[in-house]
A and B are shown apart, each in its own frame.
Chain A
Amino acid sequence: MSWSSFVPYLLVMALVTYLIRMLPLTLFRRPIRSRFIRSFLYYVPYAVLTAMTIPDILYATGYTSGGDTKPLWCALFGLITACFFAWKDKGLLTVAVAACCGVAAAQAFFLLIG
């Protein structure tokens, strides 16, 4: 990709992303009184991260609809491994590494059985 086409993309992405983060935090200074809105905002990150993970995680190891299902099983095993460690209250890094190891183990299994 040439720099002349890259730079406008970079600027647009960076500017939009920054403004979305900055404006609400900087302009909104008053405490929110509404119990509904306060709890709504409390739930948002959990809802967002769940929607980003499910079902996308199943496609994270190269599975495409209608394609070879081995990557799907690898991802599923990675998901189960991650859930197990997250359930045990392990940290971000431990769970991320465990998920990768789960996928690696499933891949190794498929290599072994051919």
Chain B
Amino acid sequence: MKKADFVKGLKHGVPIGLGYLSVSFAFGIQAVASGLTPLMAVLVSMTNVTSAGQLAGITLMSQLAPLSEVALTQLTINLRYALMSLSLSQKMGSEMNALRRMIFSFCNTDEIFAVASSQPGKLGHHYLYGLMVAPYIGWSLGTLLGAVAGTLLPLFVRTALGIAIYGMFLAIVIPPSRKASNVRLVVIISAVLSIALRYLPVLKSISSGYAIILCALTASAIGAWLHPAGEEGAQ
């Protein structure tokens, strides 16, 4: 049972890991382009395990930005993880003690969160540890490959790879939006707000990290207010 849970998690992690391989490949290319060595790029991926935060991080590094700004940017861009962790805390089984939660937290990415929270019932550590393996390897290995070999690729291929991470995000968002009108509503509100915050005068002066938080809080609050059934309504 324990081993079966671990293997089940491992299997669920493989498509995420393969997706990460291509996305982190693109990150590796960008990290080297902004002045990091391949080893530095891999260290960033192995210690952060987050796409958007790392991308913002290497940009700030290349500008030699103050550490306080780096910390604040990471806090803002990654604040969604606090919401995801809070959300996932409601699905933890009774054997998920503090240490096990601390270990799993390290790899609680958007996609791992999405897969874990879509599982029926409570979550145990065997499953969650299994789920972490392939994405972590994919994320680190892809960064290494991109940093070392990325510049060998023609611009044509590098351009195409740039969209990979967004494809993965769409694969998480669209299927539940198609099936459940409450999720669809939240997604549409978030998209409209995000566009407004990007292009409208005054609003567009809000930095991208804060814009994401603002969209997420507003859209989710409206969703919860109009459709408080939430999870039950979507299943």
A63 CB to closest chain B CB, in angstroms? Answer: 10
Of the four ranges (under 10, 10 to 19, 20 to 34, 35 or more), the interface on chain B belongs to 35 or more
**CB-CB contacts below 8 Å: A5-50 with B:** 5-6, 8-10, 12-14, 16-18, 20-26, 28-29, 31-32, 35-50
Q: Which residue of B lies closest to A81 (CB)?
A: B167
Residues of A near B159 (CB, < 8 A) are 61-62, 71, 74, 103, 107
Contact digits for B204-235, partner A, Cβ 8 Å, 1 yes 0 no: 00000001100110011101110111110110
**CB-CB contacts below 8 Å: B14-33 with A:** 15-16, 18-19, 22-23
Q: Majority SS of interface residues in chain B?
A: helix
A13 and B48 contacting across the interface, CB-CB below 8 Å:
yes
B164 and A99 contacting across the interface, CB-CB below 8 Å:
yes
A93's partner among B18, B81, B175, B221 (CB-CB below 8 A) is B18
A1 and B40 contacting across the interface, CB-CB below 8 Å:
yes
Q: In the complex, what distance in Å separates the CA atom of A50 from the CA atom of B47?
A: 25
Residues of chain B having any CB pair with chain A under 8 Å? 15-16, 18-19, 22-23, 35-37, 40, 43-44, 47-50, 52-54, 57, 60-62, 64, 67, 70-71, 74-75, 78-90, 92, 98, 101-102, 104-106, 108, 110-111, 113-114, 117, 156-157, 159-178, 182-183, 186-187, 189-191, 193-195, 198-199, 211-212, 215-216, 219-221, 223-225, 227-231, 233-234
Residues of chain A having any CB pair with chain B under 8 Å? 1, 3, 5-6, 8-10, 12-14, 16-18, 20-26, 28-29, 31-32, 35-57, 60-62, 71, 74-75, 78-79, 82-83, 85-87, 89-104, 107
